[in-house]
Structure 1
């Protein structure tokens, strides 16, 4: 425009024969419209009305907040009274950070005041749910799995908050470690190649199984457990227990898995180099069903790490917390752990915090052809 070129409004009006008052009114209206306002003689749009309403509400909230801070400062001049007020308000609003910010105090100061009074820093309603979840897990879940359980119940609690609550409530798994060697690889029996080669994440079910033997202490002597695990879902698909470790023990566990799952030919069955797995009976069972044998390298426990991890979980979460009087009692409890907890309830981080059975059902719906044969 002409006045943008350094000319005054009066000079432009004189040169063009226009009224100065009208030109100035036009300029004011143009500036208002360009800034998003209504302009002279132009009604507000619905969006502009909403923006003005929000601005008014925001001003009112700031005034109310300032009034609250000034009122608290006048009525409760002592900081200790503010801390007590926050402790009472926590029963209705479970957000310490928000309450401290609104009342103008620090969280660290509030926690320190609670500690001086000998009170817990925060009475959180999730403590009850946390204790219940911890008890339901057999007192074996850590903060990660407890977080997944609480999230499934609709309680959004962070892992580090759960660790704090576990410390406050005295929730701490206690494990004991005892070891005994169960593998005898000093024999002249045939050894299979390491076909699995640590490929612990097959794309489908019934593609690769791992197996091993472990021991269970009872007052009547050792009880030996042979188990077979499907690497796809980490599910125990076969197991057998006996007071000794003949080849029939591992054959019984494998036969149970075959009967339950009906695997296709070519399935890899991986184990260590123990004499039981290298025995003629075990090799004949593999051959009869068209299964491929695989064995770990000598003295390398990492080649069968998934099975070793299952045995560690079994002992930490169940066996080491009990004192079995005899073999029958141990067999019942271990079977209950496998069927009633590990396969159907226990959350597995590798499976996205799902139990093996639930994971298989979920993937069977998504890929019904790939995971066929699941029982």
Structure 2
């Protein structure tokens, strides 16, 4: 306010402070940024660059991890505050809406995870699912395989068909990169691709045990459903890819 009056009237700072009943020291103290304010300015700029670089996909937790990897010392609460002050809001996936399994698998396998529970070690239980990916030139289909311990994607396949080869390619990729021991549990819904002879033969060759969700119970495969929802929210942002090459690049 004092600066504005000074610019508009041309009066000196001393005169303005005297009229307002303020000591000049208060003005100069307020005009000089503190060390914390300078630090906020620096970290805030870093946060905004990371946020823009990842195209609004990163929330405060991911940005905090990136800052920590770069040696920037600050807490997640500070990152959240600075993001709020700058109006930086990450893309949020839609609330999970369950969809029923199609139940087309011939002789569906039992849900082995109900007894075994979630794994305590990587590469002992995986889950798979299929989703559609829109492009301007037509639909593509994505099969993913997730490790249920680390929640990492261990395999994926993208193609323009829904044949069993789509899921076998995703599993093959994960198997050759991770080399799980025999006894691996592979969980999915009751889709016909997962119930096909081709895929079941692949599991048998790898020494893996098949597990399937109960009919019309998508919550039994909520890990992949949640990942797919986040993937679409962050990557598509309400739009679509140009073509298959664009989708694979992303």
The alignment's TM-score, normalised by the length of structure 2, stands at: 0.79
Return closer, same or farther for 1:297/1:161 CA change in 2, 3 Å cut-off.
same
Q: How well do the aligned residues superpose, as a CA RMSD in angstroms?
A: 3.1
Alignment of 1:287-326 (within 5 A): 287-320=204-237, 323-326=240-243
1:280 paired to 2:197: yes
Deviation at 1:232, TM superposition (A): 2.5
User: Would the aligned equivalents of 1:206 and 1:267 in 2 still touch at CA under 8 Å?
Assistant: yes
2:130 to 197, 200, 213: 213
Of 235-244 and 319-328, more deviation after overlay is shown by 319-328
Q: How many residues align?
A: 231
Runs of 4+ in 1 over 6 A off after TM superposition: 178-182
**Structure 1 residues 86, 265: CA separation in 2 closer, same or farther (over 3 Å shift)?**
same
CA gap 1:254/1:79 in 2 versus in 1, 3 angstroms: farther
Extract unaligned runs of 5+ from structure 1.
Answer: 1-73, 97-121, 334-375
Matched, 1:171 2:88: yes
Residues 8-63 of structure 1: CA deviation (Å, up to 9, x unaligned) = xxxxxxxxxxxxxxxxxxxxxxxxxxxxxxxxxxxxxxxxxxxxxxxxxxxxxxxx
SS at match of 1:197: helix
| Aligned positions of 1:253-268 closer than 5 A | 253-268=170-185
How many Å apart are 1:253 and its aligned residue?
0.9
1:82 aligns with 2:26: yes
For 2:231 and 2:163, how far apart are their aligned partners in 1? 22
Name 1:94's counterpart in structure 2.
Answer: 36
Judge conservation of contact 2:127–2:188 (CA < 8 Å) in 1. yes
Pick one of 102, 124, 136 that aligns with 1:184: 102
CA contact (8 A) 2:155 2:171 kept: yes
Higher relative contact order (CA 8 A, sep 6+): 2
Cα deviation, residue 170, structure 1: 3.1
Q: Distance in 1 between matches of 2:206 and 2:165?
A: 17
- Partner residue in 2 for 1:29: none
- Which SS does the other structure have where 2:127 is aligned? strand
Work out which of the two has the higher radius of gyration on C-alpha atoms and give 1 or 2: 1
Q: Deviations over 1:271-305 (max 9, x none)?
A: 11111111111111111221100111222222222
Please identify which structure carries the higher strand content.
Answer: 2
Distance 2:31 2:76 in 1: 23
Which secondary structure state, in structure 1, belongs to the residue aligned with residue 215 of structure 2? coil
Describe the SS at the equivalent of 2:180.
Answer: coil
- Per the TM alignment, residue 77 of structure 1 is displaced from its structure 2 partner at its CA by 5.7
C-alpha distance 85-235 of structure 1, shift in aligned 2 (>3 A):
same
Kept in 2, the 8 Å contact 1:182–1:213? The answer is no
Which sections of structure 2, spanning at least 5 residues, go unmatched? 1-17
Distance 1:188-1:276 versus aligned 2 partners, 3 A rule: closer
On the 8 A contact 1:265/1:291 being kept in 2, the answer is: yes
CA separation of 1:95 and 1:177: change in aligned 2, threshold 3 A: closer
Return the offset for 1:153: 3.2
Asked whether the equivalents of residues 176 and 320 of structure 1 are also in contact (C-alpha less than 8 Å), the reply is no
1:237–1:261: 8 Å Cα contact kept in structure 2? yes
Q: Residue 195 of structure 1: CA displacement?
A: 0.6
